[in-house]
Every structure is written in C-alpha cells, then in structure tokens.
Copies of this chain bind each other. A is one copy, B any other.
Amino acid sequence: MSGSTSPMKSVQRSFDVIDVLWELDGAGPTEIAEEMDIPRSTAHVYLQTLQSTGYVVNTDGRYELSHAFLAMGSRLKHRNQIYQASQTALEELAAETGEVVTLIVEEAGRAVFLHIERGETAIELGLYSGITIPLYSHASGKTILSTLSEDRVDEIIDRHGLDSITSETITDRATLLEKLESVRADGYAVDWDQQIEGMGTIGVPIVVDEQLKGSIGIACPTERVKSESYQTELLNRLRETNETITIKYQYGT
C-alpha cells in the first residue's frame, strides 16, 4: 500500500511556486524567492519554465497564474459523463425549489463539487466548482459513504480523520457507521449544521448499474429543512431528478 517514493523535487517545487503565485495573486522572482526561501535566480528559472508551459503568464514584469487552469478544469468537468447527464436536470431542480442544488463526486476520499446551481431563494455558501470538503460532514457525502464497503470507509477515515468542523459534526467512527447504516436503508440522507452552522442538506446517491457515480443534494437554511413537509417535498423532487439523471446517463440524450 501507499506511502513511499515521491522524488522530483523540482516538479514539487514548481507546484509550490504555483501555490505562492495564487496566495500572492501574482509576483516577481524576488517575492517568490523570499516567500519560498530560495535564491532569486532559482525563482526566476521556475517562473520562466512555468510561463513556457502556459500555466503562468508574464504581464509586464509580473508573473500570474493563467487561465489554463480554468480551461483544463472546465474541460474535465464538461467531459465528465455524470455532469453531462445532470446539468439540465439540476438547473430545473434549482429553479423549482429555489434552493442551492449540488452535484458531487468522490475523489481521493473527499467530496468534490462538480457543479452548483442556485435558485431564487438560495443561501450563499461560498461554494465553487472543484472545491473539496469531507464526505462525512454533509448529507450528500454520507450517501456516497453509505455505498462504499466498510473497509473503504475505514480507509477514508484513516486517511482524512473525523475532525469536527462545527459543534454538530459527527466525530465518532461508531456513530458515523450507524448513521451510514440508516442512510443505506433509507436511500437518502438529511442533516444540518454539520459542515456549516445554519445549513441543512439533503442528498441522494446516483447509482447506475449498481455503480456509484456521485450524489446530488440540496442545501438550504437549517430551519427550512427541519420542516417535515418541506423535507419530504425536497426529497421527492430530488428523487425525481435523480431518476431523470440516471436514465439520461444510461440512454444518452
């Protein structure tokens, strides 16, 4: 199993440079050199090289991250089959419910938000495409965990831990496994205040041919999701949408 070789210091450094460029919102060799504690000339070579790749641009003396990241990220998103199958359905769901509608997939044991749609009454959550959060701290992620083997869940917990994010976050392995058990039985998950105070979430897993493809969810104020009737309504709409997506995924447009 994991945990071994990771050489290529120069490659790792080049990504460190990218991180610093992000943090400083652009910089020259000197700033990079100071921030990373390397000689100026070294910083310069890295910037030159990154520029030659197109991921960094030099606008009159100032090096900045280019939009190659956005381009590659968007292409990856649009090529993703589950996104293709979901897009229009999610738009409709957001319009109907007025809430925040999300599509996540699992990657390296974490939840990646592939797409976010906002309805009229949607709350602002600071979500954006590509952001990753833990799987255990919200309904959508729990539905994904609920489809994985217990070994796999243990592996993910080992890798990422069960840190408390709010006072309501589940931080106990046994409690989480119990919760996942009931999610598995119900086919959906609901929770609130576990990832962000005041945010309630509902999620259902997208399963095609017994293969987990991702999860769609709705996020809204905790108070709203606590209402049994509203919860049921959202759940029904989520399930309808899920059905639409599953069919489109299997049989194309």
Interface, chain A (partner B; CB < 8 A): 5-8, 10-12, 14-15, 18, 22, 25, 45-46, 48-50, 52-53, 55, 57, 65-79, 107-108, 112, 114, 128-132
Check if B10 sits within 8 Å of A75, measured CB to CB: no
- Cβ contact of A131, chosen from B8, B12, B22, B71, cutoff 8 A: B71
Check if A69 sits within 8 Å of B65, measured CB to CB: no
> Number of copies of this chain in the oligomer?
2
- A44: nearest residue on chain B (CB-CB)? B5
Cβ distance A133 to chain B, nearest Cβ, rounded Å: 11
Check if A11 sits within 8 Å of B50, measured CB to CB: yes
Collect the chain B residues with CB atoms within 8 Å of residue A68's CB: 130
C-alpha spacing A114/B15, complex, angstroms: 23
Check if B15 sits within 8 Å of A75, measured CB to CB: no
Chain A interface mostly: helix
Cβ distance A6 to chain B, nearest Cβ, rounded Å: 4
Collect the chain B residues with CB atoms within 8 Å of residue A6's CB: 48-49, 52
Asked if A12 meets B76 with Cβ closer than 8 Å, knowing A57-B108, A107-B66, A107-B67, the reply is no
Collect the chain B residues with CB atoms within 8 Å of residue A78's CB: 128
Check if A74 sits within 8 Å of B5, measured CB to CB: no
Cβ distance A243 to chain B, nearest Cβ, rounded Å: 25
C-alpha spacing A49/B173, complex, angstroms: 32
Asked if A76 meets B71 with Cβ closer than 8 Å, knowing A12-B49, A57-B108, the reply is no
5 contacts between A and B (CB under 8 A): A6-B49, A7-B49, A67-B107, A67-B114, A75-B128
